[in-house]
Amino acid sequence: MPTQEEWLDTVQRLAALSSTTEKRFEQVNIRLEGMDAHLETMNTRLDRLETKVDAIETQLTEHKTLLTQILARLPQKP
């Protein structure tokens, strides 16, 4: 059977381990919050990029349509 000193030592070690673990979780949480903010920024930029690409695709389709119309009006080669 463990002595009172051994029990006290075990309890102190567990308290220290618990404190260390809690500090580590706080550090991880802080890093995760930073990563979340970074991902939100990246998502916003990606949304803007997608909007620009969509606009370029629309413009390209319009240009293609105009070119097709112009080519249709040109006289055929003999």
Burial of 75 (0-12, 13-18, 19+ CB in 10 A): exposed
What is the domain range of residue 37?
1-48
Kindly state whether residue 3 falls inside one of the protein's structural domains: yes
**In the predicted structure, residue 77 carries a pLDDT above the cut 90:** no
User: Tokens 């070690």 identify what position?
Assistant: 13
- SS3 for 52? helix
- Strand, coil or helix: 64: helix
Number of domains the chain contains: 1
The token duo for 36 is: 């979340």
Residue 66: inside a domain: no
pTM: predicted TM-score of the whole model, two decimal places? 0.60
Q: Are 8 and 16 in contact (CB under 8 A)?
A: no
Give the tens place of pLDDT for each residue, 13-58.
999 999 999 999 999 999 999 999 999 999 999 999 999 999 999 9
